[in-house]
Structure 1
Amino acid sequence: MPSPADVRSATERAHASLLALAVGDALGSQFFVPENRPAFEAQEPPPGPWQWTDDTEMAASVYLVLTRHGTIDQDALAASFAERHDFDRGYGPSTGRLLRLVREGGDWRKLAREPFGGQGSWGNGAAMRVAPLGAWFAGDPAEAARQAALSAEVTHPHPEGVAGAVAVAAAAALAPEAPPPGRFLDDVTRLVPDGTVRDGIVEARRLLTIGDPATAAAVLGNGRQVAAHDTVPFTLWAAARRLGDYERAFWTTAAAGGDIDTTCAIVGGIVGGPPAAWLAECEPLPPWAL
């Protein structure tokens, strides 16, 4: 059983990752406000406040379950997702329907597997929220991967949806060691099951010498398809190149366009350490999670 000191340390790491994820999400969402485009083109954050989206709301439930259970209790996670679901935060229609039905008493195990012929969603929703879990299990990427799979199954049980969450959690667990980019992606890849997401991460490893995010995204995707395989490889490419430098990681990720709030949430949660000025402009975390 973890000691109280270990639990405190894990909680602090996960909270820091959640804050960093929220900043990436909230600032990234500002790209879709037309009057903010010039600021983004100049790599300057627009005036706040910045409101976060479903990425942060769901990540906060992951954090809450970890602080209460020390592990992923799938029923507790499904209940928290459903209870906290705020339609106005930008949920996709499939996830929104799932959470509404769970809140009305439906069985998440059955409902989550309805899309894609019974395999469940392969969207990027499980990946976008999981970085704080990886931070909780920092130094134990294999356990982070196992717990990430449990967290993904609640809403995105398709093998690619699960693989996306596993990859991001493993990356967040490894990031504090600040390994060289190639070793970082190699270590992540070893924990990701075979499939399209893993193939994309292998390709991201080959593209580490490419400095232009638009070029990398043209090969790896930028989340425009809102799919795990179209989102996670690029975010790991961006994180690997910018570990320890939140601002550069954010602008590298945002420059590729696509699903910017989600890609920046993922990269932010992995890299951590947003500027204090950016934290001040970001909507506070939901009080129910703290």
Structure 2
Amino acid sequence: MLGAIIGDIVGSVYEWNNIKTKDFPLFRDDCFFTDDTVMTIATADALLKGGQPDDFIDSYKKWGRHYPDAGYGSRFGRWIFSDDRGPYNSWGNGSAMRISPCAWLMDCGFCARTGMWPSNGRERAKLSAEVTHSHPEGIKGALAVTDAIFMCRFYAGGYGDDMGNPIKERLNLEQYKIQIREHIESEYGYDLSKSLDEIRPTYRFNESCQDTVPQAITAFLESTDFEDAIRNAISLGGDSDTLAAITGSIAEAAYGVPDWIKDRAMDYLDSPLREVCERWTEQL
């Protein structure tokens, strides 16, 4: 989930002050964590407690109330502070930006051995979305990001080298990006045909999964490393922190995170948030 946290922090200062360039300081003194970080960490906390629907509900309400000014959407904010434990049919991008811990539960080795996708992380991802974002688009966005992260882990880790690859050579970055693109388009119907240069001029703030997730995945697909992926996402404008959180969560799985970026990002978190990050890392 570190990639999501970094993307959120970097994008925090551009959400309401969009820039359409990749040329900007990665970290500024006025950067801060937002609801994207809080809810991503809340997802990890829920998984550490069992990952059942009540765990997600309890965790989202607990962490949301602990950080009441983190910048939640209006409907989610009302849900956090209410006694209501049911979903509210949201199709917002919040289900996708918080989902990354679920994808790290999926067993790459199982997939390599059996040729079947491991279900545990995807099931948890669906549960995580459904407790609030029960609209089909809200669930679809969360699952698409989960799949993209898992596929990056699978191919970047070398697990897919012998699967559907008769010459038995290590798949390179661009080859597994093609497979990710094809899977997301066929499985979820997202249009990933437009380049960042085609998206950027007209892209505006949008809180929906259907107009955030495809753009975030494209920002990863056109990237050359972790930092470049974050810069791609920010350069689109729009809901910058959430776009970069989603892109960063995928890019982490593909490239890893440079130590200096990790260390710098952790400086923005307080003790309760860092403590969950440490427990989650130990669990993995």
Please indicate, yes or no, whether the TM-score normalized by the shorter chain is above 0.5: yes
Partner of 1:180: 176
Report the CA distance shift for 1:150/1:41 in structure 2 as closer, same or farther (over 3 A). Answer: closer
Q: Cα gap change, 1:30/1:185 in structure 2, threshold over 3 Å: closer, same or farther?
A: same
Alignment match, 1:23: 6
**Aligned partners of 2:22 and 2:31: how far apart in 1?**
18
SS at match of 1:88: coil
Q: Which amino acid aligns with 1:241?
A: E
Percent same amino acid at aligned positions?
A: 27
Match of residue 238 from structure 2: 258
| Structure 2 counterpart of 1:262, one-letter code | T
Shift of 1:253: 1.0
Does the CA-based 8 Å contact 2:52-2:124 persist in structure 1?
no
Q: Please give the secondary structure, in 1, of the residue aligned with 2:236.
A: coil
Deviations 1:238-271 (A, max 9, x none): 22233x7111101111111000100100111111
Cα distance in 2 for residues equivalent to 1:88 and 1:186: 39
Determine which structure has greater relative contact order: mean sequence separation of CA pairs < 8 Å that are 6+ residues apart, divided by chain length.
2
Structure 1: tracts of 5 or more residues without a match: 1-17, 114-119, 193-197
Query: Of residues 111, 114, 137 in structure 2, which corresponds to 1:160?
Result: 137
1:88 deviation in Å?
A: 0.9
Partner of 1:31, secondary structure, is: coil
Q: Where do residues 131-142 of structure 1 align in structure 2 (5 Å cutoff)?
A: 131-139=100-108, 141=117
Distance in 2, matches of 1:229 and 1:67, equals 29
Q: Report the equivalent of 2:46.
A: 65
> Mean alpha-carbon deviation: is it higher for 278-287 or for 53-62?
278-287
Deviates more, 1:171-180 or 1:91-100: 171-180
Question: Is residue 78 of structure 1 aligned with residue 57 of structure 2?
Answer: yes
Residues 99 and 237 of structure 1, relative CA distance in 2, 3 Å threshold: same
- The answer for the alignment partner of 2:124 in structure 1 is 147
Deviations 1:25-46, CA, capped at 9 Å, x for gaps? 0011122486x969x7623324
Deviations 1:65-96 (A, max 9, x none): 22232xx2110110111011122110011000
List aligned pairs for 1:1-290, cutoff 5 A.
Answer: 18-32=1-15, 42-48=23-29, 50-69=31-50, 72-85=51-64, 86-101=67-82, 105-106=83-84, 108-109=85-86, 112-113=87-88, 120-139=89-108, 141=117, 143=119, 144-176=121-153, 177-178=155-156, 180-190=176-186, 192=187, 198-199=188-189, 201=190, 203-204=191-192, 206-207=193-194, 210=195, 213-217=196-200, 224-242=205-223, 245-272=225-252, 273-282=256-265, 283-284=268-269, 286-287=273-274, 289=276, 290=279
Q: Secondary structure at the match of 2:180?
A: helix
Distance (Å, rounded) in 2 between the aligned partners of 1:78 and 1:50: 28
In 2, Cα distance between the equivalents of 1:75 and 1:184?
32
| Count of aligned pairs | 241
User: What is the TM-score with the length of structure 1 in the denominator?
Assistant: 0.75
1:150-197: CA deviation from partner (whole Å, max 9, x where unpaired): 11011100000000001001111111214522211223345x4xxxxx
**Aligned-CA RMSD value:** 2.5
Consecutive unaligned residues in structure 2, runs of 5 or more? 112-116, 157-174, 280-284
- TM-score relative to the length of structure 2: 0.76
Is the partner of 1:52 in helix, strand or coil?
coil
CA contact (8 A) 1:49 1:281 kept: no
* Conserved? CA contact 2:8–2:37, under 8 Å: yes
Secondary structure of 1:148's match?
helix
Contact 1:23 1:274 in 2 (8 A): no
Structure 1 214/92 Cα, relative in aligned 2: closer, same or farther at 3 Å? farther
Q: 1:46/1:33 Cα in 2 relative to 1: closer, same or farther (>3 Å)? A: farther
Distance (whole Å) between structure 1 residues aligned to residue 93 and residue 132 of structure 2: 10
Deviations 1:201-258 (A, max 9, x none): 2x20x33xx3xx2413568x56x2200001001111122233x711110111111100
User: Per residue, is there more helix in 1 or in 2?
Assistant: 1
Contact 2:19 2:236 in 1 (8 A): no
